Structure 1
Amino acid sequence: MKQTKKLADQSIAQQEAFIHQQAQDTQNIIFTKHALKRMKERRIAAPSVIETLRQGRMKRPAEANIQTGSLECRLERHIAGRDIAVVVAIDDEDPSLIVVTAMD
Structure 2
Amino acid sequence: MPWAKRDWETHIRKLCRDTARIFWTSHAEQQMQERHIAKAVALDVLRLGVIRREPEPDIRTGHTLCRMERFCAGAPIGIVVALEAEGASACIVVTLEAEGASACIVVTAINL
- TM-score category, normalised to shorter length: 0.7 to 0.9
Q: How many residues align?
A: 97
Higher normalized contact order (CA 8 Å, seq sep 6+, divided by chain length) = 1
Contact 1:60/1:74 (8 A) holds in 2: yes
Contact 1:89/1:98 (8 A) holds in 2: no
Residue 20 of structure 2 corresponds to residue 30 of structure 1: no
Q: Aligned-pair distance for 1:101?
A: 4.0
Alignment RMSD: 1.9
TM-score (norm 1): 0.78
When structure 1 is superposed on structure 2, of 71-80 and 31-40 the one drifting more is 31-40
Q: In structure 2, what is the Cα distance between the partners aligned to 1:39 and 1:63?
A: 25
Q: Aligned-pair distance for 1:66?
A: 2.3
Report percent identity of matched pairs: 36
3-state SS of 1:94 partner: coil
Q: Which has the higher helix share?
A: 1
The code of the aligned residue for 1:20 comes to R
Structure 2 runs not aligned, ≥5 long? 103-112
TM-score (norm 2): 0.74
The code of the aligned residue for 1:71 comes to T
After superposing on structure 2, the runs of 4+ consecutive aligned residues of structure 1 that deviate more than 6 Å are none
Q: Aligned-pair distance for 1:34?
A: 4.2
Residue 11 of structure 2 corresponds to residue 18 of structure 1: yes
Structure 1 runs not aligned, ≥5 long? none
